[in-house]
Structure 1
Amino acid sequence: MLKTILGFLLIVGITMPLFALDTTEKIQNRIEKQEGISQKRLEKKRALLEKKYKKRLKKLERWHEKELKQIAYEEKIMKEKLDAKKEKLEQP
């Protein structure tokens, strides 16, 4: 019985490291494959976000330009009103 147990342990002791090496390689390959897929997903997400934020940036720039034009227009009107009031005060 002792010989059977020792024989079993010897067989397991020899085959387990081989199995572990094979499994380690498989796991490593699987991890590399997952990292490749993850990298592709990240690149796609980054591209989509860049596209999305470029659109938002363009919209904000257009809105900002409109606001600047509106402010310039209001300043022009206020200046004209102020000039008109000055002319009225200068006239006797």
Structure 2
Amino acid sequence: MVLTRRRAIAAGAALFLALPWAAHAAPVTADDACGRAVAAAERAERAYEADKKELQGRIADGGHPDRSELQALAETEAKRDRTASQAQRVCGPGPVG
């Protein structure tokens, strides 16, 4: 299933990013941290929108999503919200107005 494959890819990417050699990289500046946080938030947003579109397509075709599909959508929505909040904390408040 597409959602399972996406989760496996995300888990592999998270493991890759957590490798010890990453600790020996150059120091992270605030701009780098902000850029990475924004990129993570954008990836989470795209993943959520893709899952939502897939589920809506199934419903439009007369299908009925099961509990696991609804749970997967809720999890990607929660991840989208978490990463957006993290990006806001790392980058600071955006421009007003």
Instruction: Give the structure-2-normalised TM-score.
Output: 0.35
More helix by share: 1
Tell me which structure has the larger Cα radius of gyration: 1
Q: Compare relative contact order (CA 8 Å, sep 6+) and give the higher one, 1 or 2.
A: 2
